[in-house]
Structure 1
Amino acid sequence: MRKVRVVFVCLGNICRSPMAEAVFRSLVEKAGLVDVIEIDSAGTGDWHIGKAPHEGTRKQLDLHGISYAGMKARQFTAKDEGFDYIVCMDTKNEADVRRIIGSAADSAKIIKFMDMLPQHAEDDVPDPYYTGNFDYVYELVVEGSEKLLERIVNDLK
């Protein structure tokens, strides 16, 4: 069976998308789907390439016992259009992803993260790099990651 490939995308790939990658990986492991789902994250910007997740992200993940070992920021490129699910943390990064992959955007499964959480007023996952509110972002990431896993499992049926 071919692996389902998921990539989370934010601006710098040090706060929201690596948090989502780590949380989602943890959920996939608990569900016993490691052999089925491959997970990554990237940023549309290039200024944090090679850096570990932000201290605030690491603190939240540590608090909840979720590993981020070996994670380093990378930039989203046109080659990433091969992912089955491209999950964008906000509207601006969704637009940038569509611009980067061009015509391939029509066939890619590009999802805005908050579209999985219609009960929330936000259109975008707030960027804790600017707000400092890593606690709230973690709550949204857990809730949205659970919905995404349900969606993928249903899509596999």
Structure 2
Amino acid sequence: MIRVLFVCLGNICRSPMAEAVFRDRLKALGLEERIETDSAGTGDWHLCKPPHEGTRALLDHHGISYEGIRARQVLLDDFSRFDYIVCMDRNNERDVRQVFGSKADNNAKVFKFMDLLPAHESDDVPDPYYTGNFEEVYGLVSEGCDRLLDRIREEHPDQF
């Protein structure tokens, strides 16, 4: 089983959106038994809460389930549990590396989501909690989840 963790600040907008979109892609391709996905936040403000109403509305519009997704905080154990830890912006990446300490230094399993989309000029997925632009984030997340799946298939050809 390959495991993917998406991380943002509060785990109510970007990372749960990525988790839901990626989970939807996996289900459509019949890969949910081979790849597991989750999301977490670096902060603890929204623990146990469902995704933000803007994220829920957008996912509903696209027919993507967010059932069972609740905010949680990144845990030290996540480093050993997940094969890919995908951070929605550079601050999240920095904070995640601090949580994991020296074992995360220069570790390729921790990377920025936008590294999957080199044609885009930004290093960060904008935070719609502040910008309100959930559609822009959905576009990036949708494209990035496809690229992540390509990367996983390339790096784990024996699993597919």
Per the normalisation by structure 2, the TM-score is: 0.94
How far, CA to CA, are the matches of 2:9 and 2:78 in structure 1?
A: 15
Q: Equivalent residue of 2:38, what SS?
A: strand
Q: Deviations over 1:6-32 (max 9, x none)?
A: 000000000000000000001111121
The corresponding residue for 1:21 is 19
The yes-or-no answer on 1:90 pairing with 2:121 is no
How far, CA to CA, are the matches of 2:86 and 2:67 in structure 1?
A: 21
How far, CA to CA, are the matches of 1:136 and 1:108 in structure 2?
A: 27
After superposition, residues 34-45 of structure 1 pair within 5 angstroms as 34-45=32-43
After superposition, residues 24-103 of structure 1 pair within 5 angstroms as 24-82=22-80, 83-103=82-102
Per the normalisation by structure 1, the TM-score is: 0.96
Alignment check: 8 A CA contact 1:84 1:108 kept? no
The yes-or-no answer on 1:151 pairing with 2:132 is no
Unaligned runs of 5+ in 2: none
Shift of 1:104: 2.0
Q: Equivalent residue of 1:42, what SS?
A: strand
| C-alpha RMSD over aligned residues | 0.9
1:122–1:108 distance in 2 versus 1, CA, 3 Å: closer
Give 2:74's aligned amino acid: F
Q: Equivalent residue of 2:152, what SS?
A: helix
Q: Equivalent residue of 1:41, what SS?
A: strand
Give 2:152's aligned amino acid: I
Alignment check: 8 A CA contact 1:81 1:108 kept? no
Percent identity over the alignment is 65
Shift of 1:50: 0.6
How far, CA to CA, are the matches of 1:108 and 1:86 in structure 2?
A: 9
Shift of 1:64: 0.4
The corresponding residue for 1:115 is 115
How many residues get paired? Answer: 155
How far, CA to CA, are the matches of 1:35 and 1:154 in structure 2?
A: 18
The corresponding residue for 1:5 is 3
The corresponding residue for 2:138 is 138
